[in-house]
Chains A and B, each alone.
Chain A
Amino acid sequence: MAIKIALPKGRLLRRTAARLQKAGWGLDEYHSRIGFYRPKSEKFPEVLIRVFHEKDIPIQIAMGNYDLGICGSDWVEELMAKYPSSGLVRVRGLDYGEGTLFMASASEGQRNGDLVRIASEYPNLAESFALKQRLSRFSVFPVWGAAEAYPPENADMVLLPARTGSELSDYGMTAVSRVLDFSAFLVANRSSWESKDLDKIVTSICDTLAEVERKTDSGEAVEPVAVKKSYGRIKITDGTVRLALPDGHQQPPTVNVLNRAGIEIVDYPSETGNRRPRIKLDGVAVKVIRPQDMPLQVANGNFDLAVTGRDWLTEHLYQFPSSPVRELLDLEFSKVRLVAVVHRDMAVEDTGGLREYIAARPEPFRVASEYVNIADKYARDNHLGHYRVIPTWGATEAFLPEDADLLIENTETGRTIARHSLKIIDTLFVSTACLIGNAGAIADPAKGKRIAAIVNKFKAGVEA
């Protein structure tokens, strides 16, 4: 059986590509930023190579979809923290992509017994840290990104990667504990490691290591660094309305709506990475975070209002039906469809056909999606029998047909889907950007009127 390898996109792509180039792999397209995720190697023509988001790789290896993979060991440990019996072997640390996960704090005088809020892209490692430290009461908020933006107002601690403890002081935080030193890592599936001939490939990757002198561990101890606040805290009083605005490609259309609504905002989008732009609205404080994280952050009261997508609101409400988050206004931009997608070669045209297809096969049906709860509900509502939902962090098209049978994806034009030889068999709903709010905040006498006024301004902006 052909050997299958998962390579990372994103942060580790450039150095991994350089390393494999040096090892003479002759990869045809593992340098492109966009495009296909199926490179071929001249040196190992029989090897099947796929490119994934780094975070997906440990899961793909543990599931046995791939024999070997390269990804940051931080994501390996994040998986193993929750699933210690995963079928994953840590083969060898590679000498690039280094970093350290720090638990950092921004609040003074946390007493044991108080609720400790921890924000992190690494919820499993954060939870095991909290259990080990015997924090009696804590909440871990998984975030998709921008963890550093949360403290001190919206989190007491953050588990996040940094090069040094002092780097954290730029965010006004102090390192509490050095949780994990990580680097790029070669990992293997346990049963592949026991039964397949992976030696040539492993040797070719590890040989490139010998040429570079292994850096000795600097053994840098955690030095609590002085709190330096380069971005001042937001002044918040009881009546302050806290608004979350999106980072990334949602920024230009958001600015557009704000302009049309006559709301002035300074330093958004920010060239310096400032996540606390100033808005010229009385009694309103703004923070910039990931749209994916907004519904949860509005639900738990960290924010009163947020600009996000209906897709992420729906994802949140499917997981937590009792959530106090409401859609207040359709902002009408960033229109996408959420669709069910299969490979073009699958003889299925609709959900009825899908059910028949699944009933006829013995193994569980695999649904891959960034929207885990929407995908789960779709599978439940359509009686897809014995199914498994595989969570992904983007580049989901690469999963079909080998590593998943169905995708729940968003699409603007459908072109990307067609380019990957996939086809749409169902549309779940249409998503646009929307303004969401916390029901408790809306009913709050101190904030309600101010929120209503902001919603009206946004409404005027949409209609302008």
Chain B
Amino acid sequence: MKVQRCKGMRDMLPAEMDVFRPVEGICRDCCTGWGYREVRTPTIEYLYLFTSAGTLTPGRLGKVYSFLDWDGWSGERVVLRPDGTIPVARLYTESLPGRGPVRLFYAANIFIFEEAGEKTRERWQCGAELIGAGSAVADAELVALSLEVLKKLGLKGVELRLSHAGLIKALLVKLGLSHEEQDRLFDRILDGDAAALAGAGGKSAEVGNALKPLLGFKGKSAGFLRNQRALLVQDVPEIGPHIDDFLKTVALLDDLGCKYKIDIASGAGFEYYTGMIFQLFIGGEKVGGGGRYDALIPAMGGGDVPASGFALYIDRLMEMVKAEDIAPAVPERVTVKIKSGGAVKEAFRAAEGLRRAGYIAELDLNGEKAASRWTLEVGGETPYILSDSLKSRRFEVKTIGEVLKRLEGEGGDKDSPA
């Protein structure tokens, strides 16, 4: 019988965890610095949390891991968390209702079925949610925070793409489609089907006029958006408030010196967005995104509470970062060899002394040649023999204190990179 991991699932080996933890750590440090506090939600949630309109698109719902658990006799299905935001909104509604603004962040795995099982079905992401603030400043804070994380990760060439869910929805209303068709089209756009909006524009001339510039709408400044507004509002007056809302955020980003691209026809796979949507790309690959979801918490019965948030995809960031840019300094490693059976206790004590001084002390269990530069032999004729394989030197010393002194003196700097 051959053992293997479950199809579509991923192991993270030590070398990968050496990258994962620093990436996660930088996300955590940045979020903490902006006043966000960490939360952790369960891996399993009720399915109905994600099935209501205004949560996940049918495209994503068709890929959730749902099942009947041991309590499933009531017919209530549960699901492996398919998204990070909805559980946090649920947590807020359940445990922190009415408080605001609340800044929360998480690092969590989410589960999305991929048919071929080539891509991983378990994905890690770090997300921040700002609940109870509805201003453009709040949106700008999230954009700035996400960009700060990417910068601290040492990543360059970050492209910020902006869209606006309210704007898309207002346009769809004007297309003369049934409510159901509007929903379906909105879902297609959010699922990333950029052609969807273009194809639908043909039905109504006035909207066609409005759509064409909007779809070609790849502006890079608030001024551009302001000029487009003049054209658009003439054809479709209803979209005025949405453009104004969008403009506020965009103008702020200009002030903050953020570079962005406005691309209305780009969506993000989540039906819960109501306002500004932003997506982050590096080298054409999406590494994260977020937006405003003012209707989600009201729909959960949490009161009229606006909110916005984002998530960064840790798996993709791990492939892009240079480990040496972000890996924290690893302490010097010392192999401790036990020279006689009676010296085990002494060796453990010596290793403890090394660890207390900040070294990694690894006991030698099979007598092989040590991989580390430094080796400490314990229980031979001399109490301690410290050898330095780099400079081929040996020191015979009597106490652990002398060992530490030697290590420091001979360049065994405990803060040097491994």
Interface residues of A (CB under 8 A from B): 84-85, 112, 117, 127-128, 130-132, 134-141, 296, 299-300, 316, 319-325, 362, 385-386
Which of B66-74, B228-236, B247-255, B401-409 contacts the other chain? Answer: B66-74
Of A85, A136, A316, the contact of B48 (CB 8 Å cutoff) = A136
Known: A131-B51, A134-B51, A386-B1. A320 touches B71 (CB 8 A): yes
Q: Are the CB atoms of A322 and B51 closer together than 8 Å? A: no
Q: Are the CB atoms of B75 and A319 closer together than 8 Å? A: no
Of B1, B72, B74, B116, the contact of A362 (CB 8 Å cutoff) = B1
B383 within 8 A of partner (CB): no
Of B53, B70, B73, B77, the contact of A296 (CB 8 Å cutoff) = B73
Q: How far is the CB of A147 from chain B (nearest CB, A)?
A: 14
Known: A85-B115, A134-B51. A299 touches B76 (CB 8 A): no
Enumerate chain A residues within 8 angstroms of B74, measured Cβ to Cβ. Answer: 139, 299-300
Alpha-carbon distance between A140 and B66 when the two chains are bound, in angstroms: 12
- The 8 A CB mask of B43-80 against A (1 = contact, 0 = none) is 00000100111000010011000001011111111000
Q: How far is the CB of A124 from chain B (nearest CB, A)?
A: 11
- Which single residue of chain B is at the shortest CB-CB distance from A113? B52
Of A128, A132, A316, the contact of B73 (CB 8 Å cutoff) = A316
- Which single residue of chain B is at the shortest CB-CB distance from A298? B73
Known: A131-B58, A136-B51, A386-B1. A321 touches B75 (CB 8 A): no
Of B51, B77, B115, the contact of A84 (CB 8 Å cutoff) = B115
Enumerate chain A residues within 8 angstroms of B2, measured Cβ to Cβ. Answer: 362
Known: A84-B115, A139-B76, A386-B1. A134 touches B52 (CB 8 A): yes
Q: Are the CB atoms of B71 and A136 closer together than 8 Å? A: no
Known: A85-B115, A385-B1, A386-B1. A136 touches B72 (CB 8 A): no
Enumerate chain A residues within 8 angstroms of B77, measured Cβ to Cβ. Answer: 127, 139-140
Which 5 interchain pairs have the tightest Cβ spacing? A139-B75, A136-B52, A320-B73, A299-B73, A323-B73
- Which single residue of chain A is at the shortest CB-CB distance from B114? A85
Q: How far is the CB of B355 from chain A (nearest CB, A)?
A: 42
Q: How far is the CB of B180 from chain A (nearest CB, A)?
A: 9
Listed A/B pairs (21) with beta-carbon separation below 8 Å: A112-B53, A117-B75, A128-B62, A130-B51, A131-B61, A134-B52, A134-B53, A136-B48, A137-B51, A137-B52, A138-B51, A139-B75, A140-B75, A140-B77, A296-B73, A299-B74, A320-B70, A320-B72, A324-B73, A362-B1, A362-B2
Enumerate chain B residues within 8 angstroms of A140, measured Cβ to Cβ. Answer: 75, 77
Q: How far is the CB of B298 from chain A (nearest CB, A)?
A: 13
Alpha-carbon distance between A322 and B1 when the two chains are bound, in angstroms: 34
Q: Are the CB atoms of B51 and A135 closer together than 8 Å? A: yes
Q: How far is the CB of A234 from chain B (nearest CB, A)?
A: 21
Q: How far is the CB of B270 from chain A (nearest CB, A)?
A: 15
Interface residues of B (CB under 8 A from A): 1-2, 48, 51-53, 58, 61-62, 68, 70-77, 115-116, 183
Alpha-carbon distance between A79 and B70 when the two chains are bound, in angstroms: 23
Q: Are the CB atoms of B58 and A132 closer together than 8 Å? A: yes
Enumerate chain B residues within 8 angstroms of A84, measured Cβ to Cβ. Answer: 115
Alpha-carbon distance between A362 and B2 when the two chains are bound, in angstroms: 8
Enumerate chain A residues within 8 angstroms of B72, measured Cβ to Cβ. Answer: 319-320
- Which single residue of chain B is at the shortest CB-CB distance from A299? B73
Enumerate chain B residues within 8 angstroms of A322, measured Cβ to Cβ. Answer: 70-71, 73
Alpha-carbon distance between A316 and B1 when the two chains are bound, in angstroms: 31
Q: Are the CB atoms of B53 and A136 closer together than 8 Å? A: yes
Q: How far is the CB of B403 from chain A (nearest CB, A)?
A: 51
Enumerate chain A residues within 8 angstroms of B75, measured Cβ to Cβ. Answer: 117, 139-141, 300
Alpha-carbon distance between A84 and B117 when the two chains are bound, in angstroms: 13
Enumerate chain B residues within 8 angstroms of A134, measured Cβ to Cβ. Answer: 51-53, 58, 183
Alpha-carbon distance between A117 and B77 when the two chains are bound, in angstroms: 12
Alpha-carbon distance between A300 and B74 when the two chains are bound, in angstroms: 5
Q: How far is the CB of B82 from chain A (nearest CB, A)?
A: 12
Enumerate chain A residues within 8 angstroms of B51, measured Cβ to Cβ. Answer: 130-131, 134-138
Alpha-carbon distance between A139 and B68 when the two chains are bound, in angstroms: 10
- Which single residue of chain A is at the shortest CB-CB distance from B72? A320
Q: Are the CB atoms of B70 and A321 closer together than 8 Å? A: yes
Enumerate chain B residues within 8 angstroms of A362, measured Cβ to Cβ. Answer: 1-2
Alpha-carbon distance between A258 and B319 when the two chains are bound, in angstroms: 71
Alpha-carbon distance between A297 and B306 when the two chains are bound, in angstroms: 41
Alpha-carbon distance between A300 and B76 when the two chains are bound, in angstroms: 10
Alpha-carbon distance between A361 and B48 when the two chains are bound, in angstroms: 43
Q: Given A296-B73, A299-B74, 9 more contacts at CB 8 Å?
A: A136-B53, A137-B52, A138-B48, A141-B75, A300-B73, A300-B75, A319-B72, A320-B72, A362-B1
Enumerate chain A residues within 8 angstroms of B71, measured Cβ to Cβ. Answer: 320, 322
Q: Are the CB atoms of A137 and B70 closer together than 8 Å? A: no
Enumerate chain A residues within 8 angstroms of B48, measured Cβ to Cβ. Answer: 136-138
Q: How far is the CB of B264 from chain A (nearest CB, A)?
A: 25
Alpha-carbon distance between A324 and B72 when the two chains are bound, in angstroms: 12
- Which single residue of chain B is at the shortest CB-CB distance from A301? B74
- Which single residue of chain B is at the shortest CB-CB distance from A324? B73
Enumerate chain B residues within 8 angstroms of A300, measured Cβ to Cβ. Answer: 73-75
Alpha-carbon distance between A137 and B299 when the two chains are bound, in angstroms: 13
- Which single residue of chain B is at the shortest CB-CB distance from A137? B48
Alpha-carbon distance between A136 and B72 when the two chains are bound, in angstroms: 18
Enumerate chain B residues within 8 angstroms of A139, measured Cβ to Cβ. Answer: 74-77
Alpha-carbon distance between A432 and B117 when the two chains are bound, in angstroms: 45
- Which single residue of chain A is at the shortest CB-CB distance from B55? A136
Alpha-carbon distance between A137 and B48 when the two chains are bound, in angstroms: 5
Enumerate chain B residues within 8 angstroms of A316, measured Cβ to Cβ. Answer: 73
Q: How far is the CB of B184 from chain A (nearest CB, A)?
A: 10
Enumerate chain A residues within 8 angstroms of B53, measured Cβ to Cβ. Answer: 112, 134, 136
Enumerate chain B residues within 8 angstroms of A299, measured Cβ to Cβ. Answer: 73-74
- Which single residue of chain B is at the shortest CB-CB distance from A132? B58
Alpha-carbon distance between A446 and B58 when the two chains are bound, in angstroms: 44
Q: How far is the CB of B187 from chain A (nearest CB, A)?
A: 10
- Which single residue of chain A is at the shortest CB-CB distance from B56? A131
Enumerate chain B residues within 8 angstroms of A323, measured Cβ to Cβ. Answer: 73
Alpha-carbon distance between A329 and B75 when the two chains are bound, in angstroms: 26
Alpha-carbon distance between A130 and B66 when the two chains are bound, in angstroms: 14
Enumerate chain B residues within 8 angstroms of A85, measured Cβ to Cβ. Answer: 115-116
Enumerate chain B residues within 8 angstroms of A127, measured Cβ to Cβ. Answer: 77
Alpha-carbon distance between A137 and B77 when the two chains are bound, in angstroms: 10
Enumerate chain B residues within 8 angstroms of A319, measured Cβ to Cβ. Answer: 68, 70, 72-73
Which among B1, B71, B73 has the greatest number of chain A C-beta atoms within 10 A? B73
Enumerate chain A residues within 8 angstroms of B62, measured Cβ to Cβ. Answer: 128, 131
Q: How far is the CB of B186 from chain A (nearest CB, A)?
A: 12
Enumerate chain A residues within 8 angstroms of B183, measured Cβ to Cβ. Answer: 134
